[in-house]
Amino acid sequence: MKAVAEVLVVGGGIVGASCAAALAARGCRVRVLDAGLPGASAAGMGHLVVMDDDPAELTLSARSLALWRELVPQLPGAADYRNCGTLWLARDAAELDLIEEKRQRLDAQGVANQPLDAAATAAAEPALTALAGSLEVPGDGLLYAPVVAAWLLQRSPLIEFQRARVIAVEGQRVRLDDGRWLSADAVVLAAGLQAASLCPDLPLVPKKGHLLITDRYPEQVRHQLVEIGYGASAHASSGASVAFNVQPRPTGQLLIGSSRQFERPDMAVEPAVVGQLLRRALDFLPGLIHTSLIRGWTGQRAASPDGLPLIGAHPDQPGLWLAVGHEGLGVTTAPATAEAIANGLFGESSTFHVEPFAPARFTTAPRSQAC
């Protein structure tokens, strides 16, 4: 690409904003087009977590956490960043084996972690029920993604934000709902689940999720608490699943998750799922019985068939780059995704192994030259 290129980014959530900031830092003039529709950035937990259920996922999330740590000193106070760490919880000997496997994977990647026995786990989080042990990952954290996305879009005068609805994408150009076509040297599609309607050849499916939030109960929980079986729930390929995942918000509230449902494209809060979430949470935090729930909400995650995002050049449309399909890890992996997109656009090698995320892995037959 030219030293100073023009790029259109479709989607102004945390992934799109990160891509825009990374490209502007390279000298690109970037126009971000966002329809203002509800997205995963606003609906999710904002958990910055090293996930290791897949080797590629581990390298992507570990690199991204390193980039987040570089950004932390610059983040605005309203981003509500907290270095709370994650405590992965084991209930029995079988789950302690899973803890040990996770520890070995994190060690191999150079990710700091500390196994805790039953007594140390109870000391770290007294509100927990008696458990067999846990694994602390102190480098994990949390932030409020909508504030960070807005901040990223305001960091450079080379970024222009436009409230606009894109209805078609064709290589290096996009069509707006008013009929106008916009073109650039490159287009980055980072529109989450909306990307599936703009590019029907993308194998993205929605995963509906519920979250609940309590009233203020300061200091009840200090870490992000996640059961060690969360990975199996997160990577389920069908049906519905619930796993314990609780986050202490800076306000003193507790954010309770998490659920995943396929074939539920609606946004309705389902009482049955809320009940499942609460029962699961009470299994680990029995004191929640005395807390008040303020509200619940849902969001839709864009998931790929293999659980990994699509990051890189579209296999059939020159000039179109994809940054979609992050499912529940968009906030965590946004900086590394943006780095990979920028490196790819400028023909540079990546700092991590990007081949597992190549969109071409889903190419099965020749497609038309337009989404």
Model pLDDT for residues 314-367, shown as the tens digit of each residue: 999 999 999 999 999 999 999 999 999 999 999 999 989 999 999 999 975 444
Q: Where does the pLDDT of residue 368 fall: very low under 50, low under 70, confident under 90, or very high at 90 and above?
A: very low
Residues whose CB falls within 8 Å of the CB of residue 160, separated by 6 or more in sequence, listed in order? 29, 30, 31, 32
Q: 233 vs 45, which has greater pLDDT?
A: 45
Task: Give the separation between CA 279 and CA 63, rounded to whole angstroms.
Answer: 35
Task: Give the separation between CA 169 and CA 297, rounded to whole angstroms.
Answer: 31
Q: How long, in residues, is the chain?
A: 371
What is the reported pLDDT for 42? 63
Task: Give the separation between CA 299 and CA 310, rounded to whole angstroms.
Answer: 20
Residue 173's closest CA among 320, 24, 26? 320
What is the reported pLDDT for 218? 78
Q: Is 87's pLDDT higher than 70? A: yes
What is the reported pLDDT for 262? 84
Q: Is 107's pLDDT higher than 70? A: yes
Residue 318's identity, in one-letter code, is: P
Q: 3 vs 63, which has greater pLDDT?
A: 63
What is the reported pLDDT for 231? 67
Q: Is 72's pLDDT higher than 80? A: yes
What is the reported pLDDT for 74? 97
What is the reported pLDDT for 246? 97
Reading the block at residue 265, the tokens are 């494209």
Burial of 239 (0-12, 13-18, 19+ CB in 10 A): exposed
**Interval 184-195 mean pLDDT:** 96
93 and 132 Cβ atoms separated by less than 8 Å: yes
For the chain, list the domains and their CATH numbers. 6-44+145-203+306-362 (3.50.50.60), 86-139+205-303 (3.30.9.10)
Task: Give the separation between CA 307 and CA 333, rounded to whole angstroms.
Answer: 13
Residue 172's identity, in one-letter code, is: Q
Q: 134 vs 236, which has greater pLDDT?
A: 134
Q: Is 1's pLDDT higher than 70? A: no
Q: 277 vs 39, which has greater pLDDT?
A: 277
Q: Where does the pLDDT of residue 37 fall: very low under 50, low under 70, confident under 90, or very high at 90 and above?
A: confident
Quote the percentage of the chain above a pLDDT of 90: 85
Burial of 187 (0-12, 13-18, 19+ CB in 10 A): buried
Residues whose CB falls within 8 Å of the CB of residue 312, separated by 6 or more in sequence, listed in order? 321, 322, 340, 341, 344, 354, 357, 358, 359, 360
Residue 305's closest CA among 239, 364, 237, 240? 237
Reading the block at residue 124, the tokens are 């770290």
Q: Is 369's pLDDT higher than 80? A: no
What is the reported pLDDT for 266? 87
Residue 263's identity, in one-letter code, is: E
Residue 345's identity, in one-letter code, is: L
Q: Is 169's pLDDT higher than 60? A: yes
Alpha carbon 170 to its chain's center:
26
Q: Is 193's pLDDT higher than 50? A: yes
Task: Give the separation between CA 27 and CA 322, rounded to whole angstroms.
Answer: 20
Q: Where does the pLDDT of residue 128 fall: very low under 50, low under 70, confident under 90, or very high at 90 and above?
A: very high
Quote the percentage of the chain above a pLDDT of 70: 93
325 and 310 Cβ atoms separated by less than 8 Å: yes
